[in-house]
Amino acid sequence: MDLQQAAARAEALRREIEGHNHAYYVLDAPTVPDAEYDKLFRELQTLEAEYPELRTADSPTQRVGGKPLPQFAPVRHVVPMLSIRTETDTEPTGARAFDARVRRELGLVETEAAVEYAAELKFDGLAINLRYEDGVLVQAATRGDGETGEDVTQNIRTVRRIPLRLIGAPPPVLEVRGEVFISRPDFERYNDKQRALDRPTLVNPRNGAAGSIRQLDPAMAAERPLSFYAYGLGETRGWELPQTHGGVLDALAVFGLPVCEHRAVVQGAEGLIAFHARMREMRDALPFDIDGVVYKVNSQALQQRLGFVTREPRWAVAHKYPAEEALTTVEAIELQVGRTGAITPVARLAPVFVGGVTVTNATLHNEGEARRKDVRIGDTVIVRRAGDVIPEVVSVLMERRPAGANGEPLHPPFELPKTCPVCSSAVEKPEDEAIARCSGGLFCPAQRKQALLHFAGRRAMDIEGLGDKLVEQLVDHAIVRTPADLYKLGLVKMINLERMAEKSALNILAAVEKSKHTTLARFIFALGIRNVGEATAKDLARHFGKLDALLAADVDSLQQVPDVGPVVAASIMRFFAEPHNVEVIEQLRAAGVKWTEGESAAVVNSPIAGKTFVLTGALPTLTRDEAKDMIEALGGKVAGSVSKKTDYVVAGAEAGSKLDKAQALGVSILDETQFRELIKT
């Protein structure tokens, strides 16, 4: 191959690889297997090694990171990267106040039409300016003080969601503003990997993103799972700008830049309020952190009329949500014993308002995490609470740690006790596990209560009305010691409990009686076998068909079940090797608990066995849980997002972006009637 042929082949490879990158990292729709991608990448590497003059700035091979830098060079922004005003009023009045200011500045009277706004998310990461010349990324810079930032081009090249070359017909100069961030799943995976290698972990996604971009060694930045969304413009040349901000974002997406799907063009204050509420409801389900939403006047012409005040645009505002992190102090460190005996250190905190509620407790996860973070009584700590997630201690402000007269810390490091704080049984901690456990089993009252609550749960035996307070009374009064005792309850015992009316007692007894008829999968899940969740319980029920077959299974036969490996198999074997566990099962059978067996036969003849479904929107007669149960009972799987591996999307009213993605990928879309016809119910 001569130089001319090599140049043509290298250019073709670059285009093909970047096309695959865009499909994989931006569209979440892989176009080739990993092995094929690797083959193309290695071919390009070989060509560039043989002909170094063919190596270009936009080559995919340049994402791995260059030599470490002695320092970051300053970059002066042609168009300043100004911040926008923050509206700290998290209620609807915050949106109304912004709309009122805009209307006042534009001289609009009450009878005139509503202002059109572009509403989008406020990402919790690091703002970046990307400069493309003739479609090629030539420079990336941080915001800095707004006038001058730092050149972080080498590190930005490692972010695979950021195209090194734009597609289509971009203008001669295009500066794109956006946010670099780390998604929550990527953050957790990265930290898990770091812990396994005994390396430092990231404190939180935001700090992780900012710290990664400001690494002087690009190879370290390349190891971090960074992501990116574009949300605006800097300098442009030779481009007739779209007339609206929404149009700008659409154009950036056409150029191959990732733009967040969660955005909308809305009318007036009420449209802003609805968007703010909708995103707040979705906030915890998003795979990345946001701390609010951003409103921008959609019309570019109106933006120019409104202009700026004290270096902030009058036409935009960030409307915040309640803070998810706050400072407080640790008043004590106590221990909680969970359903499986897991012992969790819990920090008792001076009350602090965070994530929309007052928090007084935060988990320290386990002994290793408590010691790694070195959380001690008296420490000032950062506490994080996001949605329904259990509050956790993120880190300690060491400079505020209380000290004694000798300058040493006033309180010692956390140490795990040798005995259970509830039942005084020995505490066990296998060398290969992070979690310490009480060895008391069902004899430990703390485990007994949690085991009963799990047994009665909606996805297990579904005993309606059997909640925390009632279980606490039943255990504390020694009325119930094992799940089998629930089926021995009588009306007299029930109405003698505190605050238990006869009608309530009868309702609970009826729910207990109803729960006697269940499925094998629910029964297995209800037993609370460690490492056996709902999905694994269903797999076990399908595979073995009968409980006695599961009881007789050895490690090898257990590992024939999908997704059951050595750890899960060992947990199942240990559970059934305990005589008191088998005794409880026999007591439950004797009490009349029955389940549908032979479920594997239904799956054999199922038209959807092994198929992957995604549910979206509201179905006319089925809840999402009911539809999920139908699918899984017939051997299908339910996924949370649409990809090329999805076989069917079941769509109801107000189906959102999942439906759009399914249509784009050509995935089969079913309504409820078609779904029922497919599974013949």
Residues with catalytic annotation? Answer: 122
Task: Give the integer Cα–Cα distance in Å for 223 and 190.
Answer: 9
What's the CA dihedral at 420, 423, 428, 433 to 10 degrees?
-70
Query: Strand locations in 260-324, DSSP E?
Result: 264-267, 290-297, 308-309, 312-313, 316-320
Per-residue buried b or exposed e for 377-407, using 16+ beta carbons within 10 Å of the residue's own CB = bebbbbbbbbeeeebbbebbeeeeeeeeeee
Which residue do the tokens 């189906």 mark?
A: 655
Task: Give the integer Cα–Cα distance in Å for 629 and 459.
Answer: 10
Burial of 178 (0-12, 13-18, 19+ CB in 10 A): buried
The dihedral of CA 215, 219, 221, 223: what is its sign?
A: negative
Maximum CA extent, the chain: 94
Q: Are 541 and 460 in contact (CB under 8 A)?
A: no
DSSP alpha helix (H) spans, 497-614: 502-514, 520-526, 534-544, 547-551, 555-558, 566-577, 579-590, 599-604
Task: Give the integer Cα–Cα distance in Å for 658 and 670.
Answer: 13
Task: Give the integer Cα–Cα distance in Å for 70 and 459.
Answer: 57
Written as one string, the DSSP assignment of 658-677 is HHHHHHHHT-EEE-HHHHHH
Q: Residue 186 contacts by C-beta under 8 Å, 6 or more apart in sequence?
A: 225, 227
Task: Give the integer Cα–Cα distance in Å for 524 and 599.
Answer: 13
Which residue do the tokens 């009911």 mark?
A: 626
Task: Give the integer Cα–Cα distance in Å for 96 and 336.
Answer: 45
